[in-house]
Structure 1
Amino acid sequence: MIDDEALTSMQVTVETTEGLGRRMRVQVPEERISSEVTQRLGSLAKEKIRIPGFRPGKVPAKVMARHFGGRIRNEVIGDLMRESFLTALEQENLRPAAAPQIEPENVASPGLDYVATFEVLPEIRLAPFESLRIARPVASVEEANVDRVIENMRKQRLVWKEVQRPATENDRVTVDSRGYFEGEEIEGIKAEGSVIELQARETVPELKESLIGACAGDEKSFEMVYPAPEPAHLTGKTVRIDLKVHRVEESELPAIDEEFAKSFGVAEGGMDVLRADVRRDMERELESAIASSMKRRVVDALLDANDIELPQSMVREEVERGMARRRGYLERAGIPENRMAAILPDPDTLIPEARRRLAIGLIFAEIARENRIEADGSKVRDRVETIASTYQDPQAIINWYYSEDERLAEIENEVLEQQIVDWIVERADIDEEELSFDRIMNPEPEPNPPEEGERDSKATGDLEPA
């Protein structure tokens, strides 16, 4: 720890370079450095350092300086640079947006003299919340909405029966398959009794085209570019697939009756209970969708009303984090390194979303600071329990969140953001906008949608520098 006198004697000058850029020069006189070195050497001597020819604890100062002076001075310079920088920031009321670039000045001269170059967080003057006009979406679950969900549930319980005719695109076909490359059979592709739903999204187009019109007993063959990453020597190569058709089946929708309800876990009450369960789930989903829509509208209103100058260093870091997240997704999906470049976006395309996330994060942080809004512990607990309720062992998930501060901080930030949104809604000019269930549940896509798992802003608490 550096003596306070050494820090109070330093000289600090600050220049504005461009926008939020700052160039801060810090100078500490040599006598303060020498004094700190002498003090530390004295403390070290009392630790009974062993030097040949001297009794422990009785080593003269000059001898201590000769043996340890260089190392101690370097330690003092390092400590002094860190602590003087933090003291200078506090003295000049500066909040850096990112780590500074530090360059020594006048290295040959005595004393400590360096220049720190960095960007600062912008000064935010928030527009009056009463001036924000926000439309609150209002919707309800209609019987027609429930009917449509029930119809989709029928499609999940299709009844299949064999037919003696050529396959159509709504059928499913049972086949044996073998794969060949340059005349040699490919190990791992051979399969027997595979059931192919021709209309399924995952069905390869070439396979679907080959099987439409096929009858039981037919043999088919088609070529395709091998899509899987393994084995690597086949990726991107043209392979031949031979098929033997065993069965063609068509589907029928099941009747809407008590048996249908039982297939979805309704033991008693039949369709009345199933419809009530479906409606309850839809109303819960609608409530969540309305809350998400309202949050987006609050965010949009705040961004429109508050023009925030953003540090370029923060924008760059946010783009880098976005690229790292996307790369992580691809790695977990098993995409090989040599294919990532073709899939990953140009970093410049992430800039608009990065700027949006940073701007709203700074605005949220300022609102929380000015109005002393903190994450409510009971709401954090409720949120954790809600998430945990979707798992087989809820208590294990609760313990998992509360066992690590960083993990729990994600939930605290999520809760804090919602508290800030609620606080704004209480003060803003709110109108109601009646919308249909479908409009709420299927909003128009955003130009630059956030990644899966991301919220509208960077974690609010992370925006203040340490």
Structure 2
Amino acid sequence: MQVSVETTEGLERRLSVEVPAERIDSEVQQRLKKMAGSVRLDGFRPGKVPMKVVQNRFGEQIRHEVIGEVLQSSFYEAISQEKLRPAGRPEIEPTSMEPGKSLAYTAVFEVYPELTLAGMDQIKVERPVTGIEAADVDRMIETLRKQRTTWEAVERPAQDGDQLVMDFEGTIDGEGFQGNKAEGARLVLGSGRFIPGFEEGMLGAAAGEERTLDLQFPEDYPAQEVAGKPVRFKVRLTAVEEPKLPEVDAEFARSFGVADGDLDSLREQVRENMQRELDQTIKNTVKNQVMDGLIEANPIEIPKALITEEISRLQEQARMQFGGGADMKLPDEMFTDQAERRIKLGLILAEIIQANQMKVDPERLRSTIENIAAAYEDPEQVVKWYYSRKDQMSELESVVLEDQVVDWILGQAQVTEKETPFNELMKVGEGA
């Protein structure tokens, strides 16, 4: 078998392969002989069909099957011989398939890039350092109170922070449009849920009052058919409700699983949860910097075929997340940057793992599962569940191995620490 390789552009390769006619003809004859011993044809006893008849009847079909199989097998022999690592499916084009002549074809494909890792000491990481103060716990409990907000009708004009219950209808040039009206709609003033001017236009309104608001949809409004157009809303306010936050008392504590209603126990539970979230946030912050540093220190060209495949995966994930079917069109450009980042990191991390012969640490895997389980009512059951699910364990093993790579890099990288307030790091508090 003759093989030659040509670099066409970047990572693209053109492989030319010529398979001797004898290999094809020999396999075809073997299959025809085997068939002759069992084939049934009218006018002949089983196993007594002349070879010439079998060849005339089935020769072309058998040759077609053999060529298909030889194309596939010889391609893998050729890339093994030339030490090539194809990325994506090859485009194979036969150039000679005539009986009695060599089978010749070209295969065009991209290859994985050759990777020479840069020194990990080039990577700079700033690790946030923070603690949880009593004021941070106070803010978190206040956030929990807001999550348990109830609403109580009031007989006064609406003000910022109130919830309105209303019926409305919008028209553009006197005509309705999709989603232009609703009954019993609820809106918290100051939430920014409606288009600019709507909430401001309802300030000071009282239950039973009707108002007409002449507004305009933003130019970047998601529904393109109304974006930038003037709209008139007729609104009838049926109720004004003010927020009522629960008292931080024993009943409040019990609602969060503190059986005896002790507020100190509630604060300790809240602090423990905050600490878990803090540890995870610091870990993610450091990990993202490591990944950014890896990409910056190791610029690589990536195969277009892999980008296309990854974009397709991301599009499918988005459709599942938003409940869209196969007909939900999502432009490739939405996912290109994310796809390229994933592929680059995948290639770099795989090279590090292979070069250092890294394997998943069983103790670290167990610890990771136990940390996840700690947030549940029956942690031991959660641990057992993970160990009984191969698919879940496989995902966690990948995560743990990636974390081991990050720690290995941090052992060589330029790591500094920065004091950061908990509130700033976690982005909680006002507006949370």
Same fold per TM (> 0.5)? yes
Alignment check: 8 A CA contact 1:121 1:311 kept: yes
Which residue, 144, 152, 159 being the options, matches 2:143?
152
Query: Could you tell me how far apart the structure 1 residues matched to 2:182 and 2:342 are?
Result: 49
Q: What are the residue-to-residue correspondences of 1:5-84 with 2, within 5 Å?
A: 10-46=1-37, 48-84=38-74
Query: Could you tell me how far apart the structure 2 residues matched to 1:213 and 1:188 are?
Result: 23
Question: How far did 1:336 drift?
Answer: 8.9
Question: How far did 1:51 drift?
Answer: 1.8
Q: What are the residue-to-residue correspondences of 1:301-312 with 2, within 5 Å?
A: 301-312=293-304
Query: Residue 236 of structure 2 corresponds to which residue in structure 1?
Result: 243
Cα displacement string for residues 402-456 of structure 1 (whole angstroms, at most 9, x for unaligned residues): 6675x6544443333223223333444544333332343249xxxxxxxxxxxxx
Cα displacement string for residues 299-354 of structure 1 (whole angstroms, at most 9, x for unaligned residues): 12222222222223323433444445445545x169995xx6xxx55x34644333
Q: What are the residue-to-residue correspondences of 1:180-329 with 2, within 5 Å?
A: 191=183, 196-202=187-193, 208-222=199-213, 241-245=234-238, 247-251=239-243, 253-268=245-260, 270-329=262-321
Residues 1:190 and 1:129: Cα distance change in structure 2 (over 3 Å): closer
SS for the counterpart of 1:83 is helix
Query: Residue 433 of structure 1 corresponds to which residue in structure 2?
Result: 418
Alignment check: 8 A CA contact 2:369 2:386 kept: no
Residues 1:198 and 1:23: Cα distance change in structure 2 (over 3 Å): same
Alignment check: 8 A CA contact 1:197 1:203 kept: no
Give the letter for the 2:80 counterpart: E
Residues 1:400 and 1:430: Cα distance change in structure 2 (over 3 Å): closer
Cα displacement string for residues 338-387 of structure 1 (whole angstroms, at most 9, x for unaligned residues): xx6xxx55x34644333222111101111122222234567657656766
Residues 1:26 and 1:209: Cα distance change in structure 2 (over 3 Å): same
Which residue, 385, 402, 413 being the options, matches 1:417?
402
Question: How far did 1:85 drift?
Answer: 0.4
Residues 1:76 and 1:160: Cα distance change in structure 2 (over 3 Å): closer
Q: What are the residue-to-residue correspondences of 1:379-390 with 2, within 5 Å?
A: none
Question: How far did 1:75 drift?
Answer: 0.8
Q: What are the residue-to-residue correspondences of 1:101-120 with 2, within 5 Å?
A: 101-108=91-98, 110-120=101-111
Query: Could you tell me how far apart the structure 1 residues matched to 2:214 and 2:325 are?
Result: 24
Query: Could you tell me how far apart the structure 1 residues matched to 2:30 and 2:116 are?
Result: 47
Query: Could you tell me how far apart the structure 1 residues matched to 2:77 and 2:255 are?
Result: 69
Cα displacement string for residues 89-128 of structure 1 (whole angstroms, at most 9, x for unaligned residues): 1111100111111111134471210011111111111124
Q: What are the residue-to-residue correspondences of 1:88-167 with 2, within 5 Å?
A: 88-108=78-98, 110-129=101-120, 132-158=123-149, 162-167=153-158
Residues 1:201 and 1:375: Cα distance change in structure 2 (over 3 Å): farther
Query: Could you tell me how far apart the structure 2 residues matched to 1:51 and 1:392 are?
Result: 72
Alignment check: 8 A CA contact 1:391 1:397 kept: no
SS for the counterpart of 1:123 is coil
Query: Could you tell me how far apart the structure 2 residues matched to 1:61 and 1:420 are?
Result: 63
Alignment check: 8 A CA contact 2:2 2:19 kept: yes
Alignment check: 8 A CA contact 1:138 1:432 kept: yes
Alignment check: 8 A CA contact 1:139 1:435 kept: yes
TM-score w.r.t. structure 1 length?
0.75
Matched-pair identity in %: 42
Cα displacement string for residues 51-91 of structure 1 (whole angstroms, at most 9, x for unaligned residues): 23332223332222112111111111000000000011111
Alignment check: 8 A CA contact 2:122 2:413 kept: yes
Query: Could you tell me how far apart the structure 2 residues matched to 1:222 and 1:433 are?
Result: 50
Question: How far did 1:172 drift?
Answer: 2.6
Residues 1:279 and 1:404: Cα distance change in structure 2 (over 3 Å): closer
Is the deviation greater in 58-67 or in 360-369?
58-67
Query: Residue 452 of structure 1 corresponds to which residue in structure 2?
Result: none
Is the deviation greater in 257-266 or in 82-91?
257-266
Stretches of structure 1 that go unaligned for 5 or more consecutive residues are: 1-9, 444-466
Residues 1:335 and 1:111: Cα distance change in structure 2 (over 3 Å): closer
Query: Could you tell me how far apart the structure 1 residues matched to 2:248 and 2:377 are?
Result: 30
SS for the counterpart of 2:190 is coil
Residues 1:257 and 1:329: Cα distance change in structure 2 (over 3 Å): closer
Query: Residue 352 of structure 2 corresponds to which residue in structure 1?
Result: 367
Alignment check: 8 A CA contact 2:187 2:193 kept: no
Question: How far did 1:133 drift?
Answer: 4.4
Query: Could you tell me how far apart the structure 2 residues matched to 1:73 and 1:324 are?
Result: 40
Residues 1:384 and 1:38: Cα distance change in structure 2 (over 3 Å): farther
Cα displacement string for residues 231-259 of structure 1 (whole angstroms, at most 9, x for unaligned residues): x9x988967544143x4343455544444
Query: Could you tell me how far apart the structure 2 residues matched to 1:303 and 1:138 are?
Result: 25
Stretches of structure 2 that go unaligned for 5 or more consecutive residues are: none
What number of residue pairs does the alignment pair up?
416
Give the letter for the 1:284 counterpart: R
Query: Could you tell me how far apart the structure 2 residues matched to 1:123 and 1:72 are?
Result: 41
Query: Could you tell me how far apart the structure 1 residues matched to 2:111 and 2:316 are?
Result: 25
Residues 1:391 and 1:35: Cα distance change in structure 2 (over 3 Å): farther
Question: How far did 1:17 drift?
Answer: 1.6
Query: Could you tell me how far apart the structure 2 residues matched to 1:387 and 1:203 are?
Result: 38
